[in-house]
Structures are given as structure tokens and as C-alpha cells.
Chains A and B, each alone.
Chain A
């Protein structure tokens, strides 16, 4: 286990350099001049433009710029935007909002997804099962932005239960975007658990458990569910990593000032340092979540051992 852990940690190094370089190169390749974009209608003077170019090393080649960036990173400097804000400060400000949104979404999908999956999986072919199947396939096939707008229209405007956008109202403002953000994964969780439960209910060890004279509740709740939840829990853990990386569409629709919306704005403004910083953080979080998943596997399923 220890060696496995170290190997996995070492794997993060090449992924880190690969990811940062790729993103850096893409931002570098974007057409247009970020300094001119920054100034807007009124052009900046030649001298100011030159000063900017020098400060941000914009005239250098890609490898040199990347080297400057990485060099700074290892001194704890994530760089700064063209407006002079420190990238690290922006991330510190935006990340908690994304994290809160992600946690709410995670709770939604974990609880509702597992509930729907259990109900459908235990009573195959029943009304509940069909309801879950039809509603999940519907939600999965509709794009997130449509769901977002629908939610705003129905629960925000018509019913007035939740604010339509922004976080001025605190936690209440997080519920609607979190539900929309969770909807897709919720469906996957429900379907995954339904299938997994169906398979496990036919397993020999379930027959054994019944033959032991255990109650149906114990056969299902203790023996079957424990096995069926293994793939679901690992999916949920990966998904938490994805959610933490920010939700560009949802955050933008609901005007949540999180990491996702920030990266969207940063791409538009060609804020290279900011884009690379946020995306790299996202990649690292995702890798970490994956590592947790793999370690979780070994805990949940004793047949899996890493050595």
C-alpha cells in the first residue's frame, strides 16, 4: 500500500507539467492582443504597451514564458493578471464559492441518486422503476443550460422559492444551481446503482444469505447493498473531484462568482496566468480525487490489494 501510494504521488509530477504546459500553450496560441483587449476603446500609448509586454514577458517565445511561469510557481507565485491582481488572491476568493456549490450538489446527487437507485433496483419493472428510468433519461438528454434556465423560470420566477442568480441571499442562493449542477450525476448514480443492485441480487451469496434465514431487509441492506455501492461510491468520489474543478455553465447561468465563471471570464480576457492557475488547480484536485477513489476501492472491496 505504501509503495503504491508513493508511486501514485510521483505520477502527479508529469501530469502537472503536461497539464500546465498544454494550457499555457493554448492560451499563448489564442489570437488577439490581451493588452489591447484590456484597454478597450481607448488605445494605450506605445510606451505603456511596451512596459506591459516587458512585465508580462509577452514578447518572449513560448518555452521562455512557460519557464518564467513555472519558476514563479515554485516560489509560490501564481503570477498576476493584467490588472495587477494576484492570481492566488482571486483563487482564494472564488474557490470557497465553488466548493460550497460542489458540496451542495454532491449531497443532492448522493442522497437522491442512491435513493432513486435503490427504489428502482429493488422493484424492477415497477412504476417507481419506470419513473426513475424515464426521468433520468430525460434529464441526461437535456443540456445543462436548458435545465438551468428552466429551473430559474419555474422555481425562481414563477414560484419564487429561490433567488434566480447571485449569492446575495447566502445559502438559499446555492440550492437551485446546486440542484441543476447535480442533476446529471444524480441520474448516473441512480442508474448505476439500479444496475449494480440488479446484478448483485442475483448473486450466489445473496441466495446464501437468504438460506441463512436472514430477513429480507438484512439480505438487501447488509449483504446486497454493501456490494452494490462499491461502483457508486467510487463514481461519487470522482465526481466530487470534477465538481470542485468548477462548473462553467452552471456558475455562469446563475451568476455565481466561483472558479468556473472566473475561468470563463479569464479565457475571454486572455488572462493566461489566471487560466493556467485555475485549470491546474482543477487538474490537481481531480488527480487527488482519483487517488482517493483507488485507495477507497481497497477499503471497500477486500479482494483488491495494492502492493
Chain B
């Protein structure tokens, strides 16, 4: 499988110039009986083959919704994409008819989810669920599909795949279930894999194994990976670029190591100082004060200003654009220079 994939990838990568995926000014809202929830408010990013883009944010920051918009699996109503474009190999996905999007979904862009137990259908065997990809998209027969499923399960390192192909999802451990999801998502060699909190429901050791597996598979196939997470630890090891989301907007984006070394947005800075670090043992954690905003009433100006230690009047009045901090590095903070500059440690 890996070899065949490699060949196809080269041609497809050569076949299209420019970014694999370009999201521009995407807006998603949910019209509920209680009001309009502004889940995504104008985000833009790009993804190239072999690249890993990590989207970091708290629950409700719009990171999952933006991914679902790319997949085209937002429940509508209540969800509506009100503005923006999502270009995949130059084609605007939002302008395609549903029948055409369906051929892209799962085949060229696929997705794995947080909780593999609920994301897999409880009444079908894992072999059926993986094999279904080949039956539906490739028109393969039952026996062939099952054979493919076994190969894939083998490929994602599920032990004794041949014996387990007829087992049901609940008979697998959490990590193995997520491997089944990965096998299913990668079955048709997609160009893009969106992983929505793929390790959140797993033990730490298993988390590392899954991330390692994704990393290896990405190297094999050359796919672009969008990794959605709230876990800073997961981000650091595997990502190339990082986009930090807050209240449906990207507040900081850039190279992972640059951002880790020196955040240019107060929210990113807050996230960094709210995780325990081994080299700062004994120091107090500094969680971000306050709570994420209600997406029905997002604060004016910079949405982070009510929680921001740097906030001034300007932050209340004026929406900050994404300032260019350095090459390939942007921050949506009026006072990014102040945030970026080296500071005295808060405690001695």
C-alpha cells in the first residue's frame, strides 16, 4: 500500500501548483432558538503536502467547527457557512454540489475523531466499517474489501488483524479503536487528514503511540495533516506550523518552536504558563483568568481583552488585524511587541 501511495502522491503533488488547501475568511454560525452562535469568525490558513498544521484552542474556540466545514459535515440547519472560501487543489469546495463533495469526502480529505468508541458504529464489525470504504468508493466485493481491511489493520499495527477483523468496536481497547479509525480514514490514500483531538480520550502512553503512528503514516504517504488539539504537548512533537484559535479567530500563527519559545499573543502566553513544566518545578501555575467568551456575545474589539493582562482602551474599541511579527509569523494583538519582548520572571 505504501508504495502505491508514494507513486500516486508524487503525481498529484506535481499535478497541482500552489497550496493543497487554502481556507480564506471562513465564517460559520449556528442559528439556535436562543440566538446566533458565531463559532468561526473569519479564519484563514493554508496546508501543503507533508505539512502538519496544528490548530490549538480551548473547547468552543471553533477549531472543530472549522474542520467540519472543510469536510462539509456541519449539520445544516442549524450550522451555516456564511462567508469565505475553502479551496482544495484550487477548487472551491463550498461551491461544489453535494454529490461532488461526497467523492472528495473520505477519499481525498478524511477525518478522525476524538472518541473512537462513539465514532464507530457499534453494530458493525470493524472489518465491515473499514471495508465499506472500498465497497462504496471503489466498488470492490465483500471478500476483497475484507482483505483490504485486514491489510490496513495490519498497516496501522493492530496485532493479529486477520483474527480481529470480525470483532466489534467495543471489543477493542481505546488505542486500538483509534487505530481502526485511522485505518478507515487512510484507506483510500487521502491527500489531507484532519485529526480532531485524536488522542484526547486516550492514556498518555497510548497518546504517544498514536501520534507516532500518524507521523510515520504521514511520512509514508506525504499527506497534509491538520491536527486539532487543546493539548500543547501533542502539538510540539509533531507539528510544523501552529495556529492558535480563540473565540472563532486565529490569534497567533507561526512556526511551532518560535511560538513556544516566545509567544506573540497574550492568549498564547497564557496557555503556555498554564501548563506545568518540569524545569519550573515549585513555581505556581498561572492559569488564564476568566472564562472563554459566550459565542453569542463576543466582546467588542479584541475578543480576548476581558481576560488580557495587557488590555487597554484600544483593545476594547478596535479589532486587531493579524500583524506580521516576522516572516511566516502573525499575531492578532495590538501590543504584540510588548508581549514578545523578554520579561522579568513574575516570581523569584
Contact = CB atoms under 8 A, between A and B. Distances in A.
Chain A bound to chain B: yes
A207 B124 CA distance: 15
A211 B110 CA distance: 7
A218 B124 CA distance: 14
Given A204-B118, A204-B119, A211 B111 contact: yes
Contacts of B106: 211-214
Contact of B119 (A207, A226, A301): A207
A211 B118 contact: no
B119 A205 contact: yes
A302 interface: yes
A226 B124 CA distance: 10
Interface string B72-113: 010000000000000000000000000000111111001101
A213 B73 contact: no
Given A204-B113, A218-B136, A303-B170, A211 B71 contact: yes
Contacts of B102: 213-215
Contacts of B73: 207, 210-211
A303 B122 CA distance: 7
Contacts of A49: none
Contacts of A135: none
A301 B122 contact: yes
Interface residues on A, range: 20 to 34
B133 interface: yes
A211 B118 CA distance: 14
Contact of A212 (B105, B115, B123): B105
A227 B132 contact: no
A227 B103 contact: no
Contact of A208 (B113, B168, B170): B113
A74 B137 CA distance: 62
Interface in A201-236: 203-205, 207-215, 218, 223, 226-227, 230
B104 A213 contact: yes
Nearest to B99: A215
A71 B107 CA distance: 71
B152 interface: no
Contacts of A230: 123
A205 B283 CA distance: 43
Nearest to A206: B121
A274 B31 CA distance: 64
Contacts of A205: 118-122
A283 interface: no
Interface string B122-165: 11100000001100110000000000000000000000000000
B110 to A, nearest CB: 7
B184 A302 contact: no
Interface string A269-307: 000000000000000000000000000000011110000
Contacts of B133: 212-213
Interface of A: 203-205, 207-215, 218, 223, 226-227, 230, 300-303
Given A207-B73, A213-B106, 19 more contacts: A205-B119, A205-B120, A207-B119, A208-B113, A208-B119, A211-B71, A211-B106, A211-B111, A212-B133, A213-B103, A213-B133, A213-B137, A214-B132, A214-B136, A215-B136, A226-B121, A226-B124, A301-B122, A302-B170
Interface of B: 71, 73, 102-107, 110-111, 113, 115, 118-124, 132-133, 136-137, 168, 170, 181, 184
26 contacts: A204-B119, A208-B113, A208-B119, A208-B120, A210-B105, A211-B73, A211-B105, A211-B106, A211-B111, A212-B110, A212-B132, A212-B184, A213-B103, A213-B105, A213-B106, A213-B107, A213-B133, A214-B136, A218-B136, A223-B121, A226-B124, A227-B122, A230-B123, A301-B123, A302-B123, A302-B168
